Amino acid sequence: MKILEWLARVKYKLLVLSAIIFVVILSLFFAFFEYSTSPKFCNTCHFMKPYYESWKGSSHNFVKCVECHYEPGLLNELKGKWLAIKTFAAAIAGSYSPKPYAEISDASCLRSGCHSERLLSGKVRFTERNVLFDHKPHLEEMRHGIKLTCTSCHSQIVIGSHIRATVSTCSLCHFKGGTKRVERESPIGGCGVCHTAPAQPVKIGDYTVSHTEFVQRGIECTRCHIDVTYGDGEATKDKCFHCHNQLEKVERFNETEFIHINHVTVHKVDCGRCHNEIIHKFNTRIVETQHQVCQSCHEQTHFPQSALYAGKGAKGIEGEPDPMYLLGISCSGCHTVPKHDPETAIIKGQTFTSGNLPCVSCHQEKYTRFVETFNSEWTLMFNYLENRSSNIEQKTGLQKDTKVLKLLESVRYNLEFLKNAKGIHNPFYSVEILKGCDMNLIEAEKIFGEETKAQKPVGLTENNCPMCHNAIELSQITELKDGRKFSHKVHLENTPECRNCHIEGHHPPKVNFKEACNVCH
């Protein structure tokens, strides 16, 4: 009897102990299960440390890893746990991959409480590049025959930048397959898809540019902003071997549609794993870059034009870059008119000239009058100086004067430079060069004790403003900011010096009305 009672007590104690052990084990299991969902557990594997550190410094550092890496739902979470146990076991056994790859589904990103309303938010400002972006058309519509996913743009494995939008993906999609002539790119969808014109005028050096005005007139952004991409965006076969070692898979390299569906849509592979990068940025020195590229085949070709445009090239006369050079407008910004018809171009190749169309589209009709007046006056100045130079050269044949020869050498070089450079590429600097030639010829003539009798063209005089501002403009009535009317014609008949009112050294010209007007009135 006592034995039976003892056995009953032992049995009871064993049951209690078993229950306690079961509860402890169950508690430990759930505690471990909970701990295994924390980012710290992920960090126990040393090959996860770079990803853990990038997560800690990211905007998602308050979100558990499993909330992104497991799809919503209990079954998906259990499936994820099973895969995690296999990975953990592989890590212990030493058979893990040091470059793990995870597939983040759109369902994880768009789950309730995360980015569930992202598709409804419309266009948002992407602050890294100050561009507009709309998630809905990218995720719900086919883009170039590809169904994009969240991780197509938000790269899941970028060390130091965890799940952030990679701007190189934007450039890859919009510029690869776009049109390009020399250095002018036309992105797919156009620049306006991402960029809006600055609302306020932009100050560049001494010049102010109103982008809104040009956009309203339909001027293409690529007329000024050129050479803004670097890289080809090609997908090379050698990158396949980073993930695949089966030859039969790599042999399907040219099956573009299959590759995109299988990699982008099904397995959420970001574009940068296969494609070379395309960098998109603004180049501030496009003219110099373009000239260097041309020089690889055409040595010194177009040097006079590009040098004059940049405000250099003449002997002994320093200058300033043309205003359009300072604004970053390259040769192709103006040279847009094909010289040959398409059939002729097949044989001869195509050359692009300026014509009047590019000038009018940006500067409006009044600029054509400036170009005509300037070219006419500039030609008079050039011929006037060339004739004087020839007359002095004839006299130096009889009297060898070293100083005269040096002056003539400088004049000959600068006139030849301008003859090829075309003064219109930098009107201000080209006039300064011609004035410098005039001064050298005056000095040479003094050595012979004579002075030219021919009347100087207006461009070589002190009051050379009419060289560009022709009679049509001067005859017009100008309305001042305060509403008063002003007639240039009346004032020029009495005081023919523009500098009496306009402050020297400023262009566009400034007027100190209080001082200038009070002198006479």
The mean pLDDT of the chain is 76
Give the pLDDT band of residue 182 (cuts 50, 70, 90). very low
Residues 328 and 338 sit within 8 Å (Cβ to Cβ): no
Query: Which of 270-274, 360-364, 439-443 has the largest mean confidence?
Result: 439-443
Q: Are strands 184-186 and 179-181 parallel, antiparallel or unpaired?
A: antiparallel
Distance in angstroms (rounded) separating the CA atoms of residues 505 and 485:
25
Residue 144: the pLDDT is: 72
- What are the pLDDT digits (tens) for 222-239? 777 777 777 778 888 888
More confident residue, 411 or 181: 411
User: Nearest-CA neighbor of 193 among 143, 118, 120?
Assistant: 143
Tokens at 79, concatenated: 């499936």
Q: Residue 107 carries which side chain, given as an amino acid letter?
A: A
Kindly state the percentage of the chain with pLDDT values over 90.
2
Q: How confident is the model at residue 505 (pLDDT cuts 50, 70, 90)?
A: low
Q: Burial code of 103-123, b = ≥16 C-beta within 10 A, e = fewer? A: ebbbebbbbeeeeeeeeeeee
Domains in the chain, start-ordered, CATH in brackets? Answer: 2-103 (1.10.3820.10), 118-197+226-280 (no CATH), 476-520 (no CATH)
User: Given a cut of 60, is residue 368 above it in pLDDT?
Assistant: yes
pLDDT per position as a tens digit, 64-122 = 887 788 788 777 777 777 777 777 777 676 666 666 677 788 888 888 878 877 777 77
Whether residue 287 contacts residue 324, with contact meaning beta carbons closer than 8 Å, is answered with no
Give the mean pLDDT of 506-521. 68
Backbone angles phi, psi at 130, to 5 degrees: 55, 50
Q: What is the DSSP letter of 210?
A: -
Residue 229 near residue 185 (C-beta atoms within 8 A): yes
Residue 413, pLDDT score: 92
pLDDT tens for 9-44 read 767 777 777 778 877 777 776 766 666 677 777 777
Q: pLDDT digits over 418-459, tens only?
A: 999 888 888 888 989 999 999 998 888 888 777 777 778 877
Of the chain, the percentage scoring pLDDT greater than 70 comes to 77
- Across 211-228, b (16+ Cβ under 10 Å) vs e yields beebbeeebbbbbbbbbb
Report pLDDT for 416: 92
Q: Look at residue 278 in the predicted model and tell me its pLDDT.
A: 82
Stretch 173-200: mean pLDDT? 70
The predicted model gives 153-159 an average pLDDT of 65
Which pLDDT value is given to residue 98?
61
Of 412 and 159, the one with more pLDDT: 412
Q: Does position 147 have pLDDT exceeding 70, yes or no? A: yes
* Phi, psi torsion values for 4, nearest 5 degrees: -65, -40
The amino acid sitting at 94 is G
CB 229 within 8 A of CB 278: yes
pLDDT over 60 at 472, yes or no: no
Confidence at residue 305, expressed as pLDDT on a 0 to 100 scale: 86
Q: Which two tokens stand for residue 313?
A: 């090239």
